[in-house]
Amino acid sequence: MDSVAEREFLEFARTRTVALLRSAYALSGQQQSAEDLVQAALAKTAASWRRIRTDPEPYARKVLYHEFASWWRRRSTHETPTGALPDRLAPDSTTASTMRLVLYGGLSRLGHRQRAVLVLRYLEDRSEREVAEILGCRPGTVASQTSRALARLRVVAPELRELLDAEGVGP
């Protein structure tokens, strides 16, 4: 990579890492895994920089989601070891923080494809067509996966509805 391309990539990485990390955390639910996903995405983006330098963001995001799917498939178990059992969440006066924790907990109980669809559609506010391009499927598949994922999220995180109702959000 020449010095101009290297400066361009470093500027891209500096300005977009936080946004990529936010998406990676929403997918993985773990800070270290999110950091690993972003690192892998940036490494592959750097390797393809000459080809994608005019619009690197879509490429980096696509790599991020594909890396997440690959990591998820390779895991022999879907359990995360921990040194101590977590305490139950106590009611918090900071509703936004509580809602975020409940949402991440609910997302962690979804399959990787459903989680990716919800993160792309609602956290990143992408269209069905854009999500389909990123995930390599048809827009109809995205629509059905979104519907199923939301239905599943309602089952695994019913407290999310209670929090939204308390805030006056939703129908």
Domain hosting 121: range is 93-171
Q: What is the CATH number of the domain that holds 110?
A: 1.10.10.10
Most confident of the following: 62-66, 76-80, 83-87: 62-66
Task: Enumerate long-range contacts of 117-122, CB under 8 Å, 24 or more apart.
Answer: 117/142, 117/145, 117/146, 117/149, 118/146, 118/149, 118/150, 118/153, 119/23, 119/26, 119/27, 120/65, 121/146
pTM of the model: 0.59
50 and 105 both lie in a single domain: no
Checking if the pLDDT of 157 tops 60, the result is yes
Which pLDDT score, from 0 to 100, does residue 18 have? 94
The helix/strand/coil state of 145 is: helix
65 and 107 both lie in a single domain: no
Residue 76: band (very low, low, confident or very high) from pLDDT cuts 50, 70, 90: very low
- Report the amino acid identity of residue 147: S
Which pLDDT score, from 0 to 100, does residue 137 have? 92
Checking if the pLDDT of 69 tops 90, the result is no
Rounded Cα–Cα distance for residues 24 and 78 (Å):
17
Q: What is the mean pLDDT of residues 83-91?
A: 58
Residue 85: band (very low, low, confident or very high) from pLDDT cuts 50, 70, 90: low
Any idea what DSSP says for residue 111?
Answer: -
Among 12, 41, 74, the domain boundary falls at: 74
Report yes or no on 158 lying in a domain. yes
35 and 105 both lie in a single domain: no
50 and 120 both lie in a single domain: no
Q: Give the chain's domain count.
A: 2
Residue 169: band (very low, low, confident or very high) from pLDDT cuts 50, 70, 90: low
11 and 66 both lie in a single domain: yes
69 and 108 both lie in a single domain: no
